[in-house]
Amino acid sequence: MNKNYQNLIHRLEEISRLKGVMSIIQWDQEVTMPTGAAEARANQISALAGVIHERMTDKILGEYLGELSVQKHDFCAAEQCNIEEACREFDLMTKVPKQLVQAIAALSSRGHAIWVQARKENRFIDFAPVIQEFLKLKREWAACAYPDSSVYDANIALFERGTTAAEISVIFDQLKEALIPFIQELEHHTYQPDVSFLQGYFPVEKQAALARRISEDIGFQFDKGRMDVSVHPFCGGSHSTDVRITTRYNENDFIESLYAVIHETGHALYEQGRMPDASDLPVSESLTMGIHESQSLFWERMIARSRGFCTHYFETICTAFPGNLQRATVDTFYQAINACRPGFIRVEADELTYPLHVILRFEIEKDLFEGNLSVGDLPEVWNEKMKKYLGIIPPTDTVGVLQDSHWSSGAFGYFPSYTLGAIYACQFYNALRKELPDTDKNIEAGYFVPIKNWLNQNIHRQGRLYTPQELVLRITGESLNPQHLIHYLKSKYSAIYKLNT
What local confidence, expressed as pLDDT, does residue 72 receive?
Answer: 82
What local confidence, expressed as pLDDT, does residue 1 receive?
Answer: 67
Contacts of 275 (CB under 8 A, 6+ apart): 283, 284, 461, 463
Strands (E), 46-171: none
On whether the CB atoms of residues 214 and 446 are closer than 8 A, the answer is no
- Measuring CA to CA, which residue among 172, 420, 437, 404 is closest to residue 295? 420
Mean pLDDT per block of 10 residues along the chain (501 residues) reads 92 97 95 94 95 96 94 92 96 95 94 94 98 98 96 96 95 98 95 94 96 98 96 92 95 94 97 94 95 97 97 96 90 97 92 97 98 97 98 97 95 96 97 97 98 98 96 96 97 94 61
d(CA 475, CA 97) in angstroms, rounded, equals 39
Burial class of residue 276 in the structure, from the number of CB atoms within 10 Å of its CB (0-12 exposed, 13-18 middle, 19+ buried): exposed
d(CA 391, CA 413) in angstroms, rounded, equals 25
Q: Is 470 a catalytic residue?
A: no
What local confidence, expressed as pLDDT, does residue 219 receive?
Answer: 98
Q: Domains of the chain by range and CATH?
A: 3-148 (no CATH), 165-496 (1.10.1370.30)
What local confidence, expressed as pLDDT, does residue 42 receive?
Answer: 93
d(CA 42, CA 434) in angstroms, rounded, equals 49
What local confidence, expressed as pLDDT, does residue 394 receive?
Answer: 97
Handedness of CA 231, 160, 344, 305 (dihedral sign): negative
What local confidence, expressed as pLDDT, does residue 322 receive?
Answer: 87
What local confidence, expressed as pLDDT, does residue 501 receive?
Answer: 61
- pTM greater than 0.85: yes
What does residue 227 show for φ and ψ, rounded to 5 degrees?
A: -130, 130
On whether the CB atoms of residues 83 and 66 are closer than 8 A, the answer is no
d(CA 208, CA 211) in angstroms, rounded, equals 5
Helix (H) or strand (E) holding 238: strand 235-239
Residue 477, classed as helix, strand or coil, is coil
What local confidence, expressed as pLDDT, does residue 120 receive?
Answer: 96
Catalytic residue among 30, 160, 264, 271: 264
What local confidence, expressed as pLDDT, does residue 73 receive?
Answer: 87
| Residue type, position 3, single letter | K
